[in-house]
Structure 1
Amino acid sequence: MRGLRRIGPLGISGLVLLVLVVALAIAGPLIWQDRADAINPAEILRGPSGAHWVGTDQLGRDIFARVLVATRLSVGLALLATALGVVAGLLLGTSTAVFGRRVGRWIATLINIMVAFPNLLLALFFAVIFGVGATGAVLAIGFATAPGFARITQTLSAAIAGRDFIAAARVAGVGRFRILLRHVLPNIAESLVVTATIQAGGALLAFASLSFLGLGVQAPSYDWGRLLGEGLQQIYINPAGALTAGLAVVLAAMAFNLTGEVVARAIGLRSNATGTLAAPEPSAAEPTVPAADALLAVHNLQVTFPGVRPVRGVSLSVRRGEAVGIVGESGSGKSLTALAIARLIEAPGEVTADRLEFLGEDLRGDVRAHRRLLGTSLAMVFQDPMTSLNPVQRVGRQLAEVVRTHAGATRRSAWARAVDRLAAVRITDAARRAAQLPHEFSGGMRQRAMIGMGVMANPALIIADEPTTALDVTVQKQVLELLHNIRTAEDVGLLFISHDVTVVGQVCSRVLVMYAGRVVEDLPATALRTDARHPYTRALVAAVPDMETDRSQPLAVIPGRPPDPRDFPSGCAFADRCPLVTDRCRTEDPPLDAFDGDRRVACWNAALVPSLIANGEQS
């Protein structure tokens, strides 16, 4: 009863109608075939009677029996055409994933052109091409419905493709086709099922229309459309004979349409969770870490999209066991830098670098050549754990995918490893939790599960992109301790990205401060709060209140707004917001140069910052 209440009266009506249609399609020819084919010259064109409920046709055959018998052919051909349209639509709609972006762009253009035409008009066009008859009608309707289904598939796939769990799968080295089958299609299947069910009703109407026009089923076979055409010739003599076939088409189409949502719920798919380019930037100073000692070495990294360059010449390095933080306001290029390092920037984005090495291997070539390295030795932990985990797959299965893809592990051994990793990140009752869906985890558990996924293959480097932003302070502390323990116990490098200066100062030994797509300061974490030499770093620290903040005064803010990435100024990008700006700052962009031995600063007035800031605070 509870399930029936959830379905609702419309859903119940649709199910009843659909069951009746299916039963007639199966039993109709078995029960009424002889009566439908019996010719009786004495009963030609009779009206409704007790012997013939809706009358007879030109050969004295019982019209009602013929309508019942025609159910099998009408529904069967409509479902066949729908299946053809769904398969063709899936291939077209997922063309970018299946055939690559370049071919997919041309296929998408073809879809847009075909969607501009009504389905029935396309069906008539294809019917002429494929010829008269049932086979030609199936092909015509199938190919006519494919563009609409392809457009829906394309739109839904694009929405899923931007989710973090897709990026995580790509970091793990999962191939495009496998990502499509295991991650994209299961998440859009509910909408596709509803659409396919509704399209079945539309295909039924389209098939009846073609048969009515003489382009579909040919004699001696008959479907509802052909019976409707025959009955229409005698509509003034026997209206019931014509209306019965039309009513059958309407009721069957309504059954498919009303059942769409019920089908999606029944199979359990409903989720429970729920410009001009700027001139090339000058090459930044090389990181001070020797090449032999660097786990990750990046020099002059740039990310370019059409009309904009949001990352401009970033240089950094990470040693084994070292924790390096990246801080900055939203839009400063922190996450894009991480994605570029993990080779997750897709066209039309373009990544260039003078040097991009991980574990001594140059990552600037074809990403497919480095898939195994990135999938096993580099782990990504994203900001929102709910979007980082596939909502329709068991958590354990998602973790196991890493070692099954790269280590060739069996299903059983991969599952055991997943349970072990969940236990390692302090998820209690790991065996039971591994069999649950992400919505059954709390926020902190989901984030720990993401970290567990990252250490499935014993990575050398973990890139954590704001992993504690959505968590409360208690869970945040647990996640930070977990990352610290993994880093120290397994000598793993950590690249920690956050906008929280305090957290980065606690977790990392070295901090990179990013502004307007560039690193403007690279300094030890111990100097972050007291001895920063860039005005922007000072402003970030001052904007974070602490226990000594004067509550009677307004909170400190950074005046102004970051510059538009499409129109960076010729001088220092922070000049318009800086209290220490000079004429030189507005005309010359300071390079990121070594300063005071253990740091790098991109500021013309770095040596004067402490005294100038102190004087400003005293005044």
Structure 2
Amino acid sequence: MRSDRNGKSGKNGKSGRAKFRAVVRTPVGACSAALLMLLIALALLAPLVWGDRASAVDVDALQQGPTAAHLLGTDSLGRDILARVLVATRLSLVLAVTATVIGVVTGTLLGTAPSVLPRWAGRLVTATVNIAVAFPGLLLALFFAMIIGVGAKGAVLAIGLAMAPAFARLTQTLSASVAGRDFVAAARVAGVGRVRLLTRHVLPNIGEPLVVNATISAGMALLSFAGLSFLGIGVQAPDYDWGRLLGEGLNQIYVNPTAALAPGVAVVIAGLAFNLFGETVAGVVGARASTPSLPKPKGARKHAPTAAAMGHADGSDGSDGEQRLVLAVENLRVTFPGATGPVTPVRGVSFTVGAGESVGVVGESGSGKSLTALGVSRLIEAPGVVSADRLEFLGKPLLQTSGPETRGLLGTSLALVFQDPLTSFNPTQRIGRQLAEVSEQHQGLSRGKALARAVERLREVRVPAAGRRARQYPHEFSGGMRQRAMIAMGLMGEPRLVIADEPTTALDVTVQRQVLRLLAQVRGDEGGAEDGSRQQGERAALLLISHDITVVAQSCRRILVMYAGRIVEDLPTAELLTAARHPYTRALLSAVPALDTDRDAPLSVIPGRPPEPGQVGAGCAFAARCSFADERCGAEDPATVDIGAGGAAHRVACWHPQGTGSSAGNSSDVAVKASGGGA
């Protein structure tokens, strides 16, 4: 095992060196490396080699032009201009780099502050940055230099502070692009705090453009310093940098043009070196450093899921009483601000999920399925607003519970499986580290034990060579393996509810079946009374979201049909084919082809398109596409009524619910029955 790890580490190191050599071989990389090494060498050696010559006064050679003794001539005191330009390299670079560090650090802090500060404070910081960005950088530098004071220290602070707003804006933009990714949402559900979320998940993913822009900004800082020193605000005598030498050289430009040309060329070359180096860094920074190897787990759980198909559960053990509810939702609404007023894509959703119950949510794209799941998981960010008459998870009111308590509850008892497993993982971290973070945060495990638990969970979801796979990055996994790893992340805690949002999208039918079977196994294996907080035999509940009604029908006991932000029908899967009452549900079933579908007949489709969230009228949202709609349907939104018979809950929101004949569709009947019926 050790030799494997050492070999892996060595391989990674060689890969990084090979990538660096490949970049340096390019014209841009070679030029940037050569120029940067030249500048560093001059900064280190020039004061030692030419320091005395640069400060030696020669009254017999005042303001001379180029000669054999003085290749670029002398200044007003007879000092060698070439030596002074070379010696000034150290101070010019040190001041520029120092100002860049100040600007980058300050800008990064300002750019990330809205993510960790209270909302009002974050808005104040953002407004201040926006105002500062409106001013040119050199103008800001002059402003700060006048306030702080003349001299090198004042110029360093002035240029650094002048650079900060632009860098803060860049950081805000990049952070916002990453904050909406699924792996950040998963980290929030896992209970990761704001600061840790920022340092572990956001900053590593925006580090490359920040580093590139920092190196380019160093060239701009060098130019700004030269400008301030040229104006007499920056470096003061007896010290000198390229800007000060440029100002002195202009006084004798008609006598000796090289006195001004030499420091100007030095500024251009140094700026070019930093800019080209930024392009080089963009290629090199992608090589990730190797992380500590994973310890070998001491043992596996007593029983891991087998590859055999699991039988479908009856679902009765989790829905026989209020005290057994895992999730209770009443009148859930998700609202966002719009150009013409508030937009409510989820409007009045109500449902419950009992312990061990499998519930499916189905509907066309844009019906509000995923937003409902995000609202339940407390993942709707401002300016979105989540409201509900009741939103309880394991008896805890989520809308009234404090943030830390909610994170702890959701992080250990709620598992999320997102639609796109590639965007659900942090691309800069290894799979094992991302899984281990849950146990480190909520179970207090050490780094080594958490990594061992991650390997164990990957093995349980049938990821081959789990120890090796845990050391790989998400892009090294196939789509099916990434989805299995996502499920394993949910199992790092002890989930009472698994929310799977389109878990089989973009997967072939074989992998799709494996993922659905794995979810069924999760329901069967999780929920034991390991920690004493559960009742014996209580299984994890499943909320499966999909646009494919046949997938939901084969995996769930109960189905919620959503349209335009509300549930239009809630019925048992056993009644889907024979007792679906809402025209939209029946239309979804009819649109599913089967093996016996007439190939010569046109496929059944639902005419029209779902309404946009901000365009839902006062009546039934499906009225424009429904052949049974009348004036009442266009004027009044139907209430949800219970039409269940024999004790089975069956609710529908329709003014004209259809009969209970077999007209739900023969093709759908074949499609669903072939998949095995309800779960």
The letter for the 1-side match of 2:265 is L
Task: Specify which of 445, 452, 460 is matched with residue 488 of structure 2.
Answer: 452
CA distance in 2, matches of 1:63, 1:478: 76
Q: Is residue 364 from structure 1 mapped to residue 399 from structure 2 by the alignment?
A: yes
Matched with 2:603 is 555
CA distance in 2, matches of 1:269, 1:309: 44
- Over aligned residues, Cα RMSD in angstroms? 1.9
Matched with 1:277 is none
* Alpha carbons 1:535, 1:609 under 8 Å: kept: no
The letter for the 2-side match of 1:38 is A
Q: Is residue 299 from structure 1 mapped to residue 317 from structure 2 by the alignment?
A: no
The letter for the 2-side match of 1:111 is V
The letter for the 1-side match of 2:161 is F
| 1:246-325 matches, cutoff 5 A | 246-268=264-286, 290-306=321-337, 307-325=342-360
* Alpha carbons 2:584, 2:622 under 8 Å: kept: yes
CA distance in 2, matches of 1:613, 1:406: 47
CA distance in 2, matches of 1:494, 1:182: 30
Matched with 1:327 is 362
Q: Deviations over 1:158-186 (max 9, x none)?
A: 00000000000000010111111000000
* Alpha carbons 1:264, 1:270 under 8 Å: kept: no
Change (3 A) 1:170 1:198: same
Distance apart, 1:102 and its partner CA: 2.5
Matched with 1:92 is 110
Matched with 1:279 is none
Task: Specify which of 171, 181, 184 is matched with residue 153 of structure 1.
Answer: 171
Matched with 2:385 is 350
CA distance in 1, matches of 2:228, 2:550: 70
* Alpha carbons 1:190, 1:270 under 8 Å: kept: no
Distance apart, 1:238 and its partner CA: 0.9
| 1:98-109 matches, cutoff 5 A | 98-109=116-127
The letter for the 2-side match of 1:605 is H
Q: 3-state SS of the aligned residue for 1:519?
A: strand
The letter for the 1-side match of 2:523 is R
Matched with 2:533 is none
Matched with 2:536 is none
Q: 3-state SS of the aligned residue for 2:386?
A: strand
Distance apart, 1:3 and its partner CA: 4.8
Matched with 1:42 is 60
Matched with 2:136 is 118
Q: Is residue 206 from structure 1 mapped to residue 248 from structure 2 by the alignment?
A: no
Comparing 337-346 with 38-47, greater Cα deviation is found at 38-47
Task: Specify which of 466, 472, 477 is matched with residue 502 of structure 2.
Answer: 466
Q: 3-state SS of the aligned residue for 1:390?
A: coil
CA distance in 2, matches of 1:288, 1:535: 28
Q: Is residue 506 from structure 1 mapped to residue 536 from structure 2 by the alignment?
A: no
| 1:68-87 matches, cutoff 5 A | 68-87=86-105
Matched with 1:188 is 206
Structure 2: give runs of 5+ residues left out of the alignment: 1-17, 290-317, 527-538, 669-679
Matched with 1:602 is 653
CA distance in 1, matches of 2:593, 2:320: 34
Comparing 289-298 with 539-548, greater Cα deviation is found at 289-298
Change (3 A) 1:340 1:482: same
Q: Deviations over 1:458-498 (max 9, x none)?
A: 21111001011121111111111111111112211110000
* Alpha carbons 2:433, 2:451 under 8 Å: kept: yes
CA distance in 2, matches of 1:217, 1:479: 66
Comparing 6-15 with 400-409, greater Cα deviation is found at 6-15
Q: Deviations over 1:275-319 (max 9, x none)?
A: xxxxxxxxxxxx986321211111111111121111111111112
Matched with 1:523 is 571
Change (3 A) 1:27 1:257: same
* Alpha carbons 1:189, 1:269 under 8 Å: kept: no
Matched with 2:314 is none
* Alpha carbons 2:345, 2:613 under 8 Å: kept: yes
Calculate the TM-score normalised by the size of structure 1. 0.94
Q: State the percentage of identical aligned residues.
A: 62
Matched with 2:638 is 590
CA distance in 1, matches of 2:663, 2:417: 39
Q: 3-state SS of the aligned residue for 1:51?
A: coil
CA distance in 1, matches of 2:591, 2:658: 22
Task: Specify which of 438, 441, 457 is matched with residue 402 of structure 1.
Answer: 438
Q: Is residue 390 from structure 1 mapped to residue 426 from structure 2 by the alignment?
A: yes
* Alpha carbons 1:291, 1:297 under 8 Å: kept: no
Q: Is residue 338 from structure 1 mapped to residue 393 from structure 2 by the alignment?
A: no
Change (3 A) 1:160 1:173: same
Change (3 A) 1:289 1:204: farther
Q: 3-state SS of the aligned residue for 1:529?
A: helix
Distance apart, 1:147 and its partner CA: 1.0
* Alpha carbons 2:583, 2:658 under 8 Å: kept: no
CA distance in 2, matches of 1:609, 1:35: 102
Task: Specify which of 581, 584, 587 is matched with residue 536 of structure 1.
Answer: 584
Q: Is residue 493 from structure 1 mapped to residue 541 from structure 2 by the alignment?
A: yes
The letter for the 1-side match of 2:448 is R
Q: Is residue 579 from structure 1 mapped to residue 615 from structure 2 by the alignment?
A: no
* Alpha carbons 2:333, 2:347 under 8 Å: kept: yes
CA distance in 1, matches of 2:126, 2:387: 28
* Alpha carbons 2:582, 2:658 under 8 Å: kept: no
Change (3 A) 1:123 1:269: farther
Distance apart, 1:265 and its partner CA: 2.7
Task: Specify which of 160, 170, 183 is matched with residue 188 of structure 2.
Answer: 170
CA distance in 2, matches of 1:14, 1:119: 25
* Alpha carbons 2:346, 2:566 under 8 Å: kept: yes
Q: 3-state SS of the aligned residue for 2:614?
A: coil
Change (3 A) 1:289 1:124: farther
Distance apart, 1:320 and its partner CA: 1.7
Distance apart, 1:2 and its partner CA: 7.0
